[in-house]
Amino acid sequence: MICYFCLAGLAIFLYVFVIHIFVKLMLLKLKHGKDVYISFIPLFGDYFFLQQSFKKYGDATEIFKQRCQKNPNIKFVASNILNKIFLFVHDPEYYKQVLVNHENYTKVEILYHPKLSSTSILFGEPQKVKQQRSLLGEAFTFEKLKQRTPIINQVLLEKLQKEDKTNVLDFLTKTSSEIIIKTFFCKELQEIIVQGNDITTEMIDLITQLGDMQMNDLYVSIKLALLGRRSFGLFPSKNEKQLDARIDRLIDGTLMPIIKNKIANYKPNQNSDFLDIYIHAYLNQKPNEPKITELELCQLFVSIVSAGTDTTSHQIAITLYYLGVERQAQEEIRQEILNVVGNEVDIQPQHLGKLVLLNAFIQEAFRIKNTVIQPLTRIAKETHYIKNLKVEKGTYVAALTTAPSWNDKYFDDPNKFDYKRWLSQRPIKEDNGYVFVPFSAGGRNCIGQHMAMMTMKIMIGQILRQYDVVVDPSVKVTFPLVLFIQYSPQNLVQLKKRKE
Ligand code: HEM
């Protein structure tokens, strides 16, 4: 009797997780022929190769790059995850439609948490996100951000003088988070201590742990993949309970009292930081607009700081790594900075446009190793088409925006680090405007991209003025994926003070 149950269970399992998916993939192959590459590994799908790639090549993306280079004309890779189809869209004409028609999708729940991010700009419902982007958009324009360059310079120069720089990534993370908080938020939020940590260390650590748990803890990731947002609070594991308690301490115990106090003492016409802008909207809500809640104000702080900090610091760290490897380029760029900035202490807005070599180098580092390999994976809300590709409701769709950077259809000699390619008239051979989009594109692109570019140029520029960036060529470097692509070992890049 038991055996019959086992057999029936096995048959259902095989049908749901293997046969059903395999047949769907074969049908896609039949319809799309050479346009599609099929990658089927029961349960794990293409994610299986992330670990394989790291084990074999010491680089989490190498297998995907090689696959792209062997099949430069594929439009998409069709794979699976558990019982779902997973499409990795390579062709910029195809993923353009994913990015432009973003309302066809919800974001996968990596980094989602009901208390930490459910109403934030990262995960809110479309109407909510539209409201948030329109409230915050102006503050992120280059014109407004220009006024913030003194803060960026000041925070960095102080930290360069005082802080330990042995672990460059740690140093950059602390510096970028302080820059973001000081640029966009009030003093009360800059000085909080939670559980013995300053607020940003606590927040970044929490978010890294949340992402790590959702991606690598088997129980949590399967629950999330099968139940989506309904999985939160359902039979929580010990790790989930501990993390929830920390999140409660951050939101209820720390941020909420500050937000309530700010609301109680708000005076109109003091729109100097993000919370003021938001509190103004909160106090003047209109019935036909999405409701703004106090929790949303807390999540605004968490989401802006977390979206802006690790992204910026990881990309600066990887750019410094390439500067350490490309010694001659480092010298050329340092000379440019010294010529453009002269004796002035700050790198100012008027200098930024003149730092063309530095800009080209940053672009090339983005192309050769973008630490954010793709925007968050989406899940199709309804069945729809991406050009001739039918995407069924519930399908996972990743716009693999990094793929064109590996492809010689778009870039000559794509494996070569050649920052001067960005100085030529046409660095991209065939461009529909979506080939090189390190900050994504469309209505859900990176709202902080001008802030990111400005911070990167000022931070790298100031570092090069004072330090030699050194990479020991005898140390074996690897590139793991820990939410972001990063280099390892962590002390690989060293900053050596230059003689005045
Ligand atoms: C090198 C630095 C950065 C990179 C590479 C980067 C990249 C990206 C990408 C690829 C997205 C799209 C994510 C998706 O659709 O899943 C995104 C979204 C976002 N970024 Fe950035 N970002 C950077 C810096 C910043 C900074 C400095 C801020 C703010 C201070 C910021 C705030 C945001 C926000 C709020 C979103 C969500 C927008 C939305 O969903 O509508 N980012 N970023």
Residues 168-210 pLDDT 10s: 999 999 999 999 998 888 777 777 877 778 888 888 889 989 9
The stretch 19-48 carries a mean pLDDT of: 96
pLDDT for 333 equals 98
Q: 196 or 352: whose pLDDT is higher? A: 352
Distance 107 CA to ligand 1 centre (A): 14
pLDDT, residue 267, reads 84
- What residues pair up with 98 in beta bridges, in sequence order? none
pLDDT, position 61? 97
Cβ-Cβ contacts under 8 Å for 295 (sequence gap 6 or more): 115, 119, 251, 256
Taking the CA of residue 455 as reference, the ligand 1 atom at the shortest distance is: 27
Q: What is the CATH number of the domain that holds 473?
A: 1.10.630.10
**Cα 15 to averaged position of ligand 1 atoms, centre (Å):** 39
pLDDT value of position 195: 77
Residues above pLDDT 90, as percent of the chain: 77
Instruction: Check residues 381 and 274 and name the one with the higher pLDDT.
Output: 381
* Tokens (6 digits) for 397: 């769709």
Instruction: Tell me how long the chain is.
Output: 500
Q: Among candidates 482, 387, 378, 471, which has minimal Cα distance to 91?
A: 387
Element (H, E) at 390: strand 389-391
E strands within 262-316?
Answer: none
Can you give the residue range of the structural domain that contains 154?
A: 2-497
Question: What's the half-sphere exposure (Cβ side, CA atoms, 13 Å) at 153?
Answer: 18
Q: Which two tokens stand for residue 136?
A: 């915050």
pLDDT for 185 equals 86
In the prediction, which pLDDT does 139 show? 86
Query: Does the Cβ of 452 fall within 6 Å of ligand 1?
Result: yes
Strand boundaries in 167-243, DSSP class E: 193-194, 197-198
Say how many C-beta atoms besides its own lie within 10 A of residue 164's C-beta: 9
Under DSSP, is residue 386 helix (H, G, I), strand (E, B) or coil? strand
Give dist(CA 493, CA 412) in Å, integer.
28
Residue 9 — pLDDT band, cuts 50, 70, 90?
Answer: confident
Whether 397 is in the pocket of ligand 1, judged by its Cβ within 6 Å, is no
pLDDT of residue 475: 95
Output phi, psi for 107, to 5 deg.
Answer: -85, 145
Nearest CA owner, ligand 1 atom 1: 312
How many CA atoms within 13 Å lie on the side-chain side of 6? 3
Highest average pLDDT, of 63-72, 110-119, 123-132, comes from: 63-72
Q: Which pLDDT value is given to residue 275?
A: 84
In the structure, what pLDDT confidence band is assigned to residue 253 with cuts at 50, 70 and 90? very high
> Does the C-beta of 307 come closer than 6 Å to ligand 1?
yes
3-state secondary structure 50-116: HHHHHHHHCECCHHHHHHHHHCCCCCEEEEEEECEEEEEECCHHHHHHHHHCHHHEEECCCCCCCCC
pLDDT digits (tens, 9 = 90+) for 271-319: 578 888 889 889 999 888 899 999 999 999 999 998 999 999 999 999 9
Q: Is the pLDDT of residue 1 over 70?
A: no
The rounded distance, in Å, linking the Cα atoms of 187 and 396 is: 41
Of 130-134, 196-200, 396-400, minimum mean pLDDT range? 196-200
Q: State if residue 341 touches ligand 1 by the CB under 6 angstroms criterion.
A: no
Pairing mode, strands 484-485 and 384-386: unpaired
Rounded to whole angstroms, how far apart are CA atoms 387 and 253?
A: 49
Q: Give the list of residues 6+ apart from residue 244 with CB closer than 8 angstroms, or none.
A: 115, 236
> What is the reported pLDDT for 276?
85
| Mean pLDDT value of segment 129-141 | 90
Lowest mean pLDDT among 65-69, 75-79, 212-216: 212-216
Beta bridge partners, 77, equal 37, 88
CA atoms within 13 A of residue 162's CA, in its CB half-sphere? 8
114: CB partners within 8 A, 6+ apart: 229, 232, 233
User: How many structural domains does the chain have?
Assistant: 1
* Residues in a beta bridge with 399: 89
pLDDT score for 270:
64
pLDDT reported for residue 245:
95
What's the alpha-carbon Rg for the chain, to the nearest Å? Answer: 24
The pLDDT of 343-367, averaged and rounded, is: 97
Q: What percent of the chain is modeled with pLDDT above 70?
A: 99
pLDDT at residue number 2: 64
Phi then psi dihedrals of residue 121, to 5 deg: -60, -25
pLDDT, residue 189, reads: 79
Mean of per-residue pLDDT scores for the chain: 93
Report how far residue 36's alpha carbon sits from residue 52's, in angstroms, rounded to the nearest whole number: 22
Among left, alpha and beta (phi > 0; psi -120 to 50; other), residue 387 is left
Ligand 1 center–CA 278 separation, angstroms = 19
> Residue 269 — pLDDT band, cuts 50, 70, 90?
low
Pick from 185, 446, 449, 484 the residue to mutate for probing ligand 1's pocket: most ligand atoms within 8 Å of its CB. Answer: 446
Residue 125 Cα, ligand 1 centroid: separation in angstroms? 17
**For the purposes of burial, counting CB atoms within 10 Å of the CB of 454, is it exposed (0-12), middle (13-18) or buried (19 or more)?**
buried
Helix (H, G, I), strand (E, B) or coil at 285: coil
Q: How confident is the model at residue 488 (pLDDT cuts 50, 70, 90)?
A: very high
Given a cut of 80, is residue 472 above it in pLDDT?
yes
Whether the CB of 446 sits within 6 Å of ligand 1: yes
Residue whose CA is closest, atom 6 of ligand 1?
439
pLDDT for residue 271: 58
Pairing assessment for the beta strands 396-399 and 378-380 based on DSSP bridges: antiparallel
- Residues making up the annotated binding site for heme are 446
Give me the residues paired with residue 386 across strands. 389
The per-residue pLDDT for range 360-379, each reduced to its tens digit, is 999 999 999 999 999 999 99
Query: Among the listed ranges 122-126, 257-261, 478-482, which one has the minimum average pLDDT value?
Result: 122-126
pLDDT recorded at residue 405:
98
Cβ of residue 308 lying under 6 Å from some atom of ligand 1: yes
pLDDT of residue 198: 82
Query: Closest ligand 1 atom to the C-alpha of 122?
Result: 40
Give the whole-angstrom CA distance, residue 294 versus residue 285. 13
Burial of 48 (0-12, 13-18, 19+ CB in 10 A): middle
Structure tokens at 227: 């139940």
Q: How far apart are CA 171 and CA 455, in angstroms?
A: 14
- Give CA separation, 328 vs 323, 334, 418, 460, in Å: 9, 10, 12, 16
pTM recorded for the entire structure = 0.95
